[in-house]
């Protein structure tokens, strides 16, 4: 995920050049990332069966994604994370891509279920895209058909790790 062209990053780069300023820069960026990962608003993109399991069941009382600061949004413009849940058909693929492009940076994608990962049980069908990663970049893949809600929660933890690493990496450059 390329983020260096944001104005705020350029400011931080400038601050870093001043002796002693590096510590401040790192902290602010980490704080920003911490805030971001603690309130991951997800774009519930339910396409098929997985939507029931990882979006509805995971968001409801027993599994309760809200306790991770994750809130369901119905529009890409307010979300940080896109959860692609279900079979992406060839008719739907251009819409998936467009919705991804409508999300504001930085944006992350979790692909849940065998269908979104690689076509799943419908891989030999004429109408199904063999993995959503053919049209949009994916950060975390969750296997299963459908994955259990716990699997999604684990994937979210993995994504948070990845987000932290992203900041570390930027500062080690």
Nearer to other proteins, 25 or 117 (CB): 117
Give me the least distance between CB of 62 and other proteins, in Å please: 5
Tell me which residues in 121-150 interact with other proteins (CB under 8 A).
121-122, 124-128, 145-146, 148
- In this structure, the dihedral spanned by the alpha carbons of residues 158, 159, 160 and 165, taken in order and rounded to 10 degrees, is 90
Nearer to other proteins, 38 or 75 (CB): 75
Q: How far apart are CA 101 and CA 123, in angstroms?
A: 26
| Chosen residue from 2, 61, 169, 172 binding other proteins by CB under 8 A | 61
Helices (H), 77-148: 93-102, 113-118
- Chain-centroid distance, C-alpha 60: 20
Torsion sign, CA atoms 137, 141, 143, 148: negative
- Asked if 81 and 41 touch (Cβ cutoff 8 Å), the reply is yes
Start-to-end Cα distance in the chain: 15
* Span interacting with other proteins, options 2-10, 25-33, 55-63, 164-172, rule CB under 8 A: 55-63
Nearer to other proteins, 51 or 163 (CB): 51
| Chosen residue from 40, 44, 136, 159 binding other proteins by CB under 8 A | 44
Q: Which residues bind other proteins (CB under 8 A)?
A: 44-49, 51-53, 56-57, 60-62, 74, 86-87, 89, 91-92, 95, 99, 121-122, 124-128, 145-146, 148
């Amino acid at each position: 995920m390329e983020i260096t062209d944001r104005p705020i990053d350029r400011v931080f780069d400038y601050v870093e050049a001043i002796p002693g300023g590096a510590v401040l820069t790192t902290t602010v960026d980490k704080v920003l990332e911490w805030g971001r990962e603690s309130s991951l608003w997800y774009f519930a993109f339910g396409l098929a069966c997985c939507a029931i399991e990882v979006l509805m069941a995971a968001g409801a009382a027993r599994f309760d994604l809200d306790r991770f600061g994750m809130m369901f949004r119905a529009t890409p413009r307010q979300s940080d994370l896109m959860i692609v849940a279900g079979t992406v058909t060839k008719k739907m693929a251009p819409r998936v891509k467009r919705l991804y492009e409508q999300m504001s940076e930085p944006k992350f994608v979790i692909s849940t279920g065998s269908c979104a990962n690689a076509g799943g049980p419908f891989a030999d069908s004429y109408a199904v895209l063999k993995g959503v990663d053919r049209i949009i970049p994916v950060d975390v893949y969750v296997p299963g058909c459908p994955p259990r809600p716990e699997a999604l929660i684990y994937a979210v933890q993995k994504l948070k790790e990845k987000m932290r690493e992203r900041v570390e990496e930027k500062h080690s450059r």
